[in-house]
Amino acid sequence: MQFKRTDVLVIGSGLSGLFASLVLAERGLKVLIVTKEDIDISNSHFAQGGIATVIDFDQDSFQKHIDDTVTAGDGLNRRDVVDHFVRRGPGIIESLRALGVQFSTRGDGHLDLGCEGGHTERRVVHAGDITGTELISVLKDRVVKDRRITIWQHHTAIDLITTRKFTLSAENRVAGAYVLTQEGVVITVAAGSVLLATGGCGKVYLYTSNPDVATGDGIAIGFRAGVPVANMEMVQFHPTILYHEKMRSVLLSEALRGEGGILKTRDGRTFMEKYHPMKSLAPRDVAARAIDHELKKRGDDFVLLDMTRLDPAFLEHRFPNLLKKCLDAGIDMRHEAIPVVPAAHYLCGGLQCTPDGATCIPGLFVAGEVAHTGLHGANRLASNSLLEAAVMAQGAAEGILARHVVPPDEIAPLPRWNEEGVVDSDEQVIVKQNWDEIRHCMWNYVGIVRSDRRLERALKRILLIRQEITEYYWNFTVTRDLLELRNLALVAELIVRSAIKRKESRGIHYNTDHPHKLSEIRDTELCPGELSD
Ligand SMILES: Cc1cc2nc3c(=O)[nH]c(=O)nc-3n(C[C@H](O)[C@H](O)[C@H](O)COP(=O)(O)OP(=O)(O)OC[C@H]3O[C@@H](n4cnc5c(N)ncnc54)[C@H](O)[C@@H]3O)c2cc1C
């Protein structure tokens, strides 16, 4: 089978992809979910802390959540967009509970609300410390039982098909996508609407909290199809990833600091008081930069996150999963401090869209981390991304339902994948070499602290790598590794170019040559025509 027709093609099976699929199927549309690995491998699955939303209206308010979001975002947020997401929070929690998601409750039956860095009130709805696992397992169960939803696991979306590419019609709209199977066959999928729910791009950096699927595919796919990106330089580094020789990417949730964890240097001294009035509860950009500064100044490999002043019974109850992971690494957080380092965690920028995920290409919607709505500004407030993913999923589904067109069929066939002249590669080493180079280059030159010289150096290297990959791409049969590498390189270029464009330090973007904020607050935008490929 090399052709498939569906009402809606959903690319990605994280929170946004699964939730949107359920809303669409419930309203009668046929949905095809394409996902790179097993259905439950995604950033969403690994989320620990929870979903930020106002629940306790006696103590908290929408205005306080909005203010905290804008404070963390350093003013780059779009206030109307922040308002949009914050007000939809309580409704989204109810929708998720109605689907069967079990959030943690207190003895009196009310939702248990956690606190995290940057929040001035307790408003993080969570399922113990495995919120993402709970969300994804419930949504997955629903999706696999729904007869209107087809799931293709271990399938990788390559590129979108837009009508501009094969008809003379004046209106450009999305018509489907090319999808690579695990066996190496490329299938042409015709769809009336496409939702890109492909998540972020943590793998562009050497150290990241993200799973291997986070290679920025959706951003690259959308950009190549003609959707501009915004604020790609705003890469959030999580301050506390477990420092361990073998266990990489173990994230130690913000909630640990939220509940009273203290950051210390290796010799046991506190240092956050030098960087922020909220000390260890400072927003994550401040915490990550402070740790980076202390590490470089002292030549240490890690700092410590000390939980030992908290009641061991509370730690066992509140963080059973993290406690176990640390024990697996040989660290008992009840009695000793945990060694931690910062790592790339979340992309605040992404494909430009409305808060409901509509892009400039009719029929093409985006949701979740792949998107740039204006919610996060220059730094995401902890636990606002699951909120964004869920609210966008619902909004995008409504948008698709309202504007949906019938997908093209065999009568007006889409162009098939052209493999003329390509051969199987016997040089896999090129993929591996370029993959490593990009990730080292981004970590060393485009990391937590940047400078004009380092950014220019990074751009030169990334351009050379991209040139090599482009030649390779058109001559050899596509594989998943090659597709990911091509996407990773494009996303790296977008991050570097955006970082060069921003001549100030704001939020998570810190450039030693431009340490101050400009009075004019602007998004950094890049359009597809501005790049060579
Ligand atoms: C360790 C960790 C902890 C976190 N904790 C929190 C938290 O407590 N609260 C919070 O708000 N946020 C948290 N975040 C961030 C949050 O989890 C993500 O931003 C959010 O889950 C993104 O959801 P998504 O649906 O956009 O993408 P994802 O959940 O990342 O899903 C992306 C999906 O797209 C698929 N995919 C990608 N490319 C392709 C392709 N080419 N073809 C087919 N499929 C593709 C992937 O396989 C995956 O299924 C955390 C992130 C991490 C990594």
Kindly report, residue by residue over 234-260, the tens digit of the pLDDT: 999 999 999 988 887 789 988 899 899
Q: Hey, what are 436's tokens?
A: 């490593």
Nearest-5° angle of CA 154, CA 160, CA 163? 150
Q: Ligand 1 atom closest to Cα of 484?
A: 41
- Range(s) of the chain covered by CATH 3.90.700.10: 238-345
Kindly state the greatest CA–CA separation across the chain. 72
User: Domain 238-345, what fold?
Assistant: Flavocytochrome C3; Chain A, domain 1 (3.90.700)
**Is 130 near ligand 1, meaning CB less than 6 Å away?**
no
If one counts every other C-beta atom within 10 angstroms of the C-beta of residue 266, the result is: 15
**Is 197 near ligand 1, meaning CB less than 6 Å away?**
yes
What is the pLDDT at residue 410? 56
Report the separation in Å between the CA atom of 101 and the middle of ligand 1, taken as the mean of its atom positions: 18
If one counts every other C-beta atom within 10 angstroms of the C-beta of residue 38, the result is: 13
Q: Are 235 and 344 in contact (CB under 8 A)?
A: yes
CATH 1.20.58.100 is held by the domain 428-511:
yes
Report the separation in Å between the CA atom of 162 and the middle of ligand 1, taken as the mean of its atom positions: 26
If one counts every other C-beta atom within 10 angstroms of the C-beta of residue 410, the result is: 9
Q: Are 20 and 27 in contact (CB under 8 A)?
A: no
Report the separation in Å between the CA atom of 487 and the middle of ligand 1, taken as the mean of its atom positions: 17
d(CA 269, CA 290): 14
- Element counts in the chain: helices (H) and strands (E): 14, 18
Convert the pLDDT of each residue in 41-75 to its tens digit: 999 999 988 999 999 999 999 999 999 999 999 99
d(CA 47, CA 261): 19
Which amino acid appears at position 276 of this protein?
H
Of the candidates 483, 482, 480, 481, the one whose C-alpha atom is nearest the C-alpha of residue 181 is 480
- The DSSP secondary structure of 140-183, one letter per residue, reads HHHHHH-TTEEEETT-EEEEEEEGGGT---S---EEEEEEE-TT
CATH 3.50.50.60 is held by the domain 3-47+128-233+348-403:
yes
Active site residues: 284
**Is 383 near ligand 1, meaning CB less than 6 Å away?**
yes
What is the pLDDT at residue 159? 97
Q: Are 342 and 239 in contact (CB under 8 A)?
A: yes
Report the separation in Å between the CA atom of 461 and the middle of ligand 1, taken as the mean of its atom positions: 28
Within 8 A by CB and 6+ apart from 498, the residues are 229, 231, 232, 233, 349, 524, 526
φ/ψ of 452, rounded to 5, equals -60, -45
C-alpha distances in Å from residue 426, one per residue of 327, 430, 435, 482, 506: 43, 10, 17, 13, 45
d(CA 493, CA 462): 6
Q: Hey, what are 139's tokens?
A: 């949504």
Give the HSE-up count for residue 7: Cα atoms under 13 Å, Cβ half-sphere: 16
Mutation pick for ligand 1 pocket among 42, 130, 131 (CB with most ligand atoms within 8 Å): 42
Mutation pick for ligand 1 pocket among 51, 198, 319, 351 (CB with most ligand atoms within 8 Å): 198
What is the pLDDT at residue 82? 98
What is the pLDDT at residue 253? 84
Q: Supply the residue whose CA is at minimum distance from atom 9 of ligand 1.
A: 383
**Is 251 near ligand 1, meaning CB less than 6 Å away?**
yes
**Is 40 near ligand 1, meaning CB less than 6 Å away?**
no
**Is 392 near ligand 1, meaning CB less than 6 Å away?**
no
- Range(s) of the chain covered by CATH 1.20.58.100: 428-511
The alpha-carbon radius of gyration of the chain (Å, integer) is 22
Helix (H, G, I), strand (E, B) or coil at 101: coil
Q: Ligand 1 atom closest to Cα of 202?
A: 53
Report the separation in Å between the CA atom of 304 and the middle of ligand 1, taken as the mean of its atom positions: 27
Residues 94-100: contacts with CB under 8 Å, at least 24 apart: 95/390, 95/394, 96/19, 96/135, 96/138, 96/390, 99/22, 99/138, 99/139, 99/142, 100/138, 100/141, 100/142
What is the pLDDT at residue 1? 58
Q: Hey, what are 37's tokens?
A: 């690995």
Residues of the chain with confidence (pLDDT) below 50:
411
